[in-house]
Structure 1
Amino acid sequence: MQKDIYVVGLMVDERSTKAPDVQQVITRYGSNILCRNGIPSPSRERGIITLTMEAAPNEYEKMEQELKNLHGVTVDCIHFSQQESFQVCQK
């Protein structure tokens, strides 16, 4: 099965209350995640997480949908396909 690279950006509103839900989703896809970077700030209501992952398109789409189903979470990504150069993920 073809696995592509996805660089995923998450903006989490109400970070202090939403973080556990976001973490549960990320943990379910942990075997696909190559790198994770988070920028928490106690003085701000938002948090930013970036993920670099290697996944089949259907695996990424499933994770993306789970994250988008969480109120206050915004997801954007860049998709590097083995067959193409790169593309911005469809919204």
Structure 2
Amino acid sequence: MRIIMGILIGHREEEAVKVQELLTKYGCYIKTRLGLHDTPTEGSCSSKGLLILEFMPGNEKEVDALEAELKKLESFVVKRMEF
């Protein structure tokens, strides 16, 4: 099974350390990581960020655990696709 997860971070500046800690903890299961954020005006950053993760096959338990931990964080929206 192929799992893709989208993570919308509501307060990127305040939550960046927490996200990085979790991504490091589950890093061995992540195949692809793509980070996107809006730039409202040139030279500035948006407070929101979007992460897209693709996981290595066969690690559903670890993906479930990461998803549960991310959903505990206040400003996060987590969505998942399975193929």
What TM-score comes out, normalization by structure 1 length? 0.77
SS of the residue aligned with 1:61?
helix
**Which segments of 5 or more consecutive residues in structure 1 lack a partner in the other structure?**
81-91
Q: Is the 8 A contact 2:29 2:59 kept in 1?
A: no
Count of residues paired in the alignment: 77
Matched residue, 2:51 = 49
Matched residue, 1:33 = 30
Matched residue, 1:72 = 75
Matched residue, 1:5 = 2
Runs of 4+ in structure 1 deviating by more than 4 angstroms, as ranges, are none
Bigger relative CO (Cα 8 Å, ≥ 6 apart): 2
In the aligned structure 2, how far is the partner of 1:62 from the partner of 1:16? 24
Percent of paired sites with the same residue: 27
Q: Please list the CA deviations of residues 14-47 of structure 1 after superposition, one character each: whole Å capped at 9, or x if unmatched.
A: 1001011011111111111111000134431200
Q: Please list the CA deviations of residues 38-77 of structure 1 after superposition, one character each: whole Å capped at 9, or x if unmatched.
A: 0134431200010001242211110100111111011101
**Which segments of 5 or more consecutive residues in structure 2 lack a partner in the other structure?**
none
What is the alpha-carbon root mean square deviation over aligned residues? Answer: 1.3
